[in-house]
Amino acid sequence: MDMNYEKMIAVNRIESEQKIKLATMAIEQLIERGEYPSVTLLVKKTGLSRGFFYKNPEVRSRLDAAVQSPNVSCRRIWSESKDSKNDNTEALQMEIMEYKVRNRSLSQENEELRGQIEELKVQVEKLKSRIKKKELSMLKKL
């Protein structure tokens, strides 16, 4: 039993070391590309949990050092974010214009339908009066 326990601990230690290697390699790759090594990006890239990056002291210290690295371009991140916002703003403005055009079209259609409703109301009133006249004439015949 004592042997199995030691074997289990050894296996866990090896798995932990492999996870640490995987995490540090991912951090290094991001730094080499000049990308900001965020925990979210590292989780996606490695499949490891967020907690692993925060709780493992070795990985956490490597991540903190990477964030402070001069190779990580905060300006590029800011620029990409700004460009993304501009693209998004332009897309939203185009969408607003499309909705305004659609709104005008629907308003015009709505006015036309209201006009038709009024015409139909007039016709209904005329038909009602004709029916009353017919009823009266039929009653007179009786």
Return d(Cα 88, Cα 80) in angstroms, integer. Answer: 12
Among 1-5, 41-45, 58-62, 75-79, name the one with the lowest average pLDDT. Answer: 75-79
Task: Report the pLDDT value the prediction gives residue 4, as an integer from 0 to 100.
Answer: 83
Mean pLDDT over the full length of the chain: 84
> Which tops the pLDDT comparison, 22 or 86?
22
- Diameter of the chain by CA atoms? 117
Task: Report the pLDDT value the prediction gives residue 110, as an integer from 0 to 100.
Answer: 94
Each residue's pLDDT tens digit, 64-81: 888 777 666 554 555 555
Reply yes or no on whether the pLDDT at 114 is more than 50. yes
Return d(Cα 141, Cα 83) in angstroms, integer. Answer: 86
What the block records as the tokens of 69 is 């690295």
Return d(Cα 36, Cα 59) in angstroms, integer. Answer: 16
Q: What is the pTM of this model?
A: 0.48
Each residue's pLDDT tens digit, 20-35: 999 999 988 888 887 8
Task: Report the pLDDT value the prediction gives residue 95, as an integer from 0 to 100.
Answer: 87
Average pLDDT over residues 102-122: 94
What is the length of the chain?
142
Beta strands in 31-128 (DSSP E): none
Average pLDDT over residues 80-84: 60
